[in-house]
Amino acid sequence: MKIYVDADACPVKDIIIVEGTKAKIPVILVTSFSHFSTTEQPPGVETIYVDLGADAADYRIMKLAEKEDIIVTQDYGLASLGLAKGCKVLHHKGFLYSNENIDSLLQTRYLSAMARKSGKRTKGPKPFTTEDRDKFRELFKKVIY
């Protein structure tokens, strides 16, 4: 089992690194070159840099991930692909993607995109809270232990 993180905008990387290394599960942070860092990661954590393309991180994660791996992403499209591959997929706000909720999430994303395309304004995501962070930590620990 490995943990793949869609790391460009992931606000819970620190939790994933601490808990993942504690559980001795390899953590792979996949991020674009625009987020390049010379910060050294602890043992068991690897950073893979990808091109700046919109879905470059998603494609790399799907190329590497195998059944039963864990993927952390806020991208519903990547979540859908991960579920189809037999991965456990978590959102950073502390919920597990499932075959039961992914269609509804993708439909909502599509309808919002169509509304924006036609000139309507849609609400963005709610701000990330301490409660979201705690919820993620609790779910993540359940999934890895």
Q: Which domains does the chain have, with CATH numbers?
A: 3-98+128-144 (3.40.50)
| pTM, 2 dp | 0.89
Q: By three-state DSSP, how is residue 95 classified?
A: strand
Helix residue ranges, H only, 1-145: 13-22, 56-64, 76-84, 102-117, 130-144
Each residue's pLDDT, cut to its tens digit, for the chain (145 residues) gives: 999 999 988 999 999 999 999 999 999 999 999 888 888 999 999 999 999 887 899 999 999 999 999 999 999 999 999 999 999 999 999 999 999 989 888 888 777 778 778 888 877 778 999 999 999 999 999 999 9
